[in-house]
Amino acid sequence: PEMLDNEDHLLENHPRELTQNPLKKIWMPHKNSHIGHRRVCMTNCPTLIVTVGLPARGKTYISKKLTRYLNWIGVPTKEFNVGDYRRECLKIYKSFEFFRPDNEEGVKIRRQCAMSALNDVRQYLSVEGGQVAVFDATNTTRDRRGTIMKFAEQNGFKVFFVESVCEDPEVIAQNIVQVKLGNPDYMNCSSEEAIEDFMERIKCYETSYQPLDEDLDSDVSYIKIMDVGRRYLVNRVVDHIQSRIVYYLMNIHITPRSIYLCRHGESDLNIKGRIGGDSGLSSRGKEFAKRLRSFLEEQKIKDLKIWTSQMKRTIQTAECLGVPYEQWKSLNEIDAGVCEEMMYEEIQEHFPLEFALRDQDKYRYRYPKGESYEDLVQRLEPVIMELERQENVLVICHQAVMRCLLAYFLDKTSHELPYLKCPLHTVLKLTPVAYGCKVESVYLGVESVNTHRDRPENVNVQRSTEDALQTVPAHL
């Protein structure tokens, strides 16, 4: 037998040597390959989610919300709204006549738009690395759905249908008022004209509508949402991502409510410019808690639930409110590991490499023996799920945690998330509206230190101390 040289010999007889990725602190073999290092690998092949339903049944609402959620938990997702393609193509919308089933020209254009959208779907899932595409259109005929399933099969995508069925005239009317009136299609109409036209539009679809059927579609994977979540029919969920999607869809609702996010009052460690730890409130922090109580009393919020973390400073803040509250360990601040209770200046002094890496990719950077923003998001997912179920909630949390929650509600990317501004002593009121979220920022007038550190210009590991500390906020 040949004499293998040293290195080969080693590879033959020993498992691969591991190195720890300096940014994420993940252990990987030298010649990295097949491992999935995040959570469970959600999908083997990409998934195509297809909405089904008459107009004004909440398909776009669901599409956008689902897309936002999946992206937040780290599954690259994109929605493709066929209406947008049609608007691109048609430029000017005249009336509902376009949607009449006997309008040959209209039918042709609509079919082309659907094809064009599917092409983009293919591009996104097969070429651009997307994992989930949401195909948002009425898809009300079995024929159209058949075409889509064929397309998916040819490209190796799994298909999951999300059908929304609703006959409640009030819900439909509200839908139309909330999202259709502001739609580009109805820019130049009065409200009454728009509503009338839209109702006619719905009628165009009604005659040919073939809802997903228990028997005829028994082999298809789908969820049928009835009456805005009063009832669900779930058929043939085949994998993890579909299971998560079903769980999410079953937890969301459209009852009007507001979510209030704020941080604990200023803490003793905040004043000293130190991160993490478990200190109590400073006197200004206590003042904030009092003001918070007045603010809540003024707002007269119905059935407000209050959540805190299990760290002293949020609990002390909640204590001043004089009402019951619930503690969640998952709301605890990001664990800074070996850097806990340090000032940025100290981190730069003792761990300049770590400090630079963090600036290079703040979202993925994991503190040694601590967490990353990415870890935080995973930790906060059950909180988001419960927030979706709830109505009025006040969450008293921490800077990094609040950034993650805010990013979910405001659909911020992982680049933006770690730099969202969440100052102390400021309450953010989030109210879902149309397809998004209205934000009101209320500063309660109690001074505090600034704990926000912007990304410095120089993120190079060789940078000077001065460059590294360029953006550190002032402290004692």
Partner 1 sequence: MAAIHKKPCTASKSSTESKRTDLKSNEKKGSWAYYMTNSPLLIVMIGLPARGKTYMSKKLTRYLNWIGVPTKVFNLGVYRREAVQSYKSYDFFRHDNEEAMKIRKQCALVALQDVKTYLSEEGGQIAVFDATNTTRERRTLIVNFAQENSFKVFFVESVCDDPEVIAENIMEVKVSSPDYPERDRESVMEDFLKRIECYKVTYQPLDPDKHDMNLSFIKVINVGRRFLVNKVQDSIQSKIVYYLMNIHVHSHSIYLCRHGESLHNLEGRLGGDSGLSERGKKFAVELKAFVKEHNLSDLKVWTSQLKRTIQTAEELGVPYEQWKILNEIDAGMCEEMTYAMIEEKYPEEFAMRDQDKYHYRYPGGESYQDLVQRLEPVIMELERQGNVLVICHQAVMRCLLAYFLDKGADDLPYMKCPLHTVLKLTPVAYGCKVEMFDLKVEAVNTHRDRPLVSIKVKTPPPMFRRNSFDPLSTKDQIKRPRMYSMGNFSPPPTLPPPAFASTRISEGIESVQREVSVQLI
Binding site for partner 1 (CB under 8 A): 14-16, 18, 20, 25-27, 29, 34-41, 214, 218, 230-237, 240, 243, 246-247, 250-251, 278, 280, 310-312, 315-316, 319, 322-330, 369, 375, 378, 386, 389
Q: Note if 298 is an active site residue.
A: no
Label residue 449 left, alpha or beta by phi (over 0 means left) and psi (-120 to 50 means alpha). Answer: beta
Q: Is 233 annotated as a binding residue?
A: no
Q: Which of 113, 166, 262, 422 is catalytic?
A: 166
Task: Please report how close the Cβ of residue 212 comes to partner 1 at its closest, in angstroms.
Answer: 11
> Is 463 a known ligand-binding residue?
no
CA distance 396 to 424: 11
Task: Output the CA–CA distances (angstroms, integers) from residue 222 to 225, 236, 254, in the order listed.
Answer: 10, 7, 21
CB of 352 to partner 1, least distance (A): 22
How wide is the angle at C-alpha 146 spanned by C-alphas 143 and 148, nearest 5°? 115
Reported as type and span, the H/E element at residue 108 is helix 104-122
- Please tell me the number of Cα atoms within 13 Å of 210 on its side-chain side: 12
Whether 278 is catalytic is no
Helix axes 82-90, 104-122, angle to 10 degrees: 120
Cβ-based nearer residue to partner 1, 180 or 244: 244
Residue number, 29 or 445, with CB nearest to partner 1: 29
Is 240 annotated as belonging to a binding site? Answer: no
CA distance 249 to 66: 8
Is 86 annotated in some ligand binding site?
no
User: CA nearest 221: which of 210, 235, 231?
Assistant: 235
Structure tokens that stand for 209 in this block = 């509508």
270 known member of a binding site: yes
Least distance (Å) from partner 1 to the CB of residue 362? 18
Q: Residue 457 CB, nearest distance to partner 1 (Å)?
A: 32
**Cβ atoms of 225 and 232 closer than 8 Å:** yes
Please compute, for residue 437, the number of CA atoms within 13 A of its CA located in the half-sphere on the CB side. 21
Q: Is 268 annotated as ligand-binding?
A: yes
Closer of 168 and 326 to partner 1 (Cβ):
326
Nearer to partner 1, 20 or 191 (CB): 20
Instruction: Indicate the residue type of 105.
Output: E
Q: Report the residue number, 132 or 311, with the smaller CB distance to partner 1.
A: 311
269 is in an annotated binding site: yes
Q: Coil, strand, or helix at residue 434?
A: coil
| CB 356 to partner 1: min, Å | 22
Cα–chain-centroid distance for residue 180?
24
Whether the CA torsion 145, 248, 389, 68 is positive or negative: it is negative
Cβ closest to partner 1, residue 362 vs residue 379: 379
CA distance 451 to 22: 26
313 marked as part of a ligand binding site: yes
Task: Output the smallest distance, CB 28 to partner 1, in A.
Answer: 8
For the CA atoms of 149, 155, 160, 163, what is the dihedral angle to 10 degrees?
Answer: -50
**Which CB atom, from 29 or from 146, has the smaller least distance to partner 1?**
29
SS3 state of residue 274 = strand
Q: Out of 79, 113, 136, 359, which one is annotated catalytic?
A: 136
3-state secondary structure of 430: strand
The single residue of 79, 163, 197, 264 carrying the catalytic annotation is 264
Q: Is 333 part of the annotated catalytic residue set?
A: yes
62 near 77, Cβ under 8 Å?
no
Query: 116 labelled as ligand-binding?
Result: no
- Residue from 79, 163, 197, 333 carrying the catalytic annotation: 333
Q: Which is nearer to partner 1, 200 or 239 (CB)?
A: 239
Q: What are the distances in angstroms from CA 358 to CA 25, 218, 387?
A: 12, 50, 30
User: Is 264 among the residues known to form the active site?
Assistant: yes
At residue 93, the 3 state secondary structure works out as coil
Min dist CB 405 to partner 1, Å, is 17
- The set of residues, in sequence order, having a beta carbon less than 8 Å from that of 380 and lying 6+ positions away, is 330, 331, 401, 404, 405
Conformation bin of residue 268: beta by default, left when phi > 0, alpha when psi is -120 to 50: alpha
The minimum distance between CB 312 and partner 1, in angstroms, equals 6
- Known binding-site residue numbers: 263-270, 313
Tell me the catalytic residues. 136, 166, 264, 333
Sequence ranges of the binding site for substrate: 263-270, 313
